[in-house]
Amino acid sequence: MENTDSKIKRTQYLNVVNLLVGIWLLFAAYVFHGTAPSLWNDVIVGLLVITLAAWNIVIPEAHWASWTNVALGAWLLIAPITIQYPVLGHLWNDVIMGVILITFGSWAGAIRTTPKPMHMPH
């Protein structure tokens, strides 16, 4: 059985990946020369991901932050349906970043970092 400290470290490592995805999203729109909607989408989602991942690195018990990053990852998957992406590479970048956020966010969110309460017999 894994102890709480190793679970916290694993959660933090997973959130470092999400933090790096957020940082990349800030630059990706400029790298791919996105249009205003796709550019702002990446900037806003990137800032949110950075904030949530950093929060979860500092407070590993904040599972809601990981699950919110999962939702942001899902948004990146469906954003190309609602936002025009003039560069195909930009579209695929957001889809891949969305899959990474969903994968690592759900993995981090599923790790129980608080000890289970002991049940007292009656």
pTM: 0.86
Q: Spell out the domain ranges in the chain.
A: 4-110
Tokens read off for 13: 């490592």
User: How far, in Å, CA of 83 to CA of 45, rounded?
Assistant: 14
32 pLDDT more than 60:
yes
* Closest by Cα among 113, 115, 114 to 12: 113
Q: For 45-96, what is each residue's pLDDT tens digit?
A: 999 999 999 998 898 888 889 999 999 999 999 999 999 888 888 899 999 9
DSSP 3-state helix, strand, coil percentages of the chain (rounded to 5)? 75, 0, 25
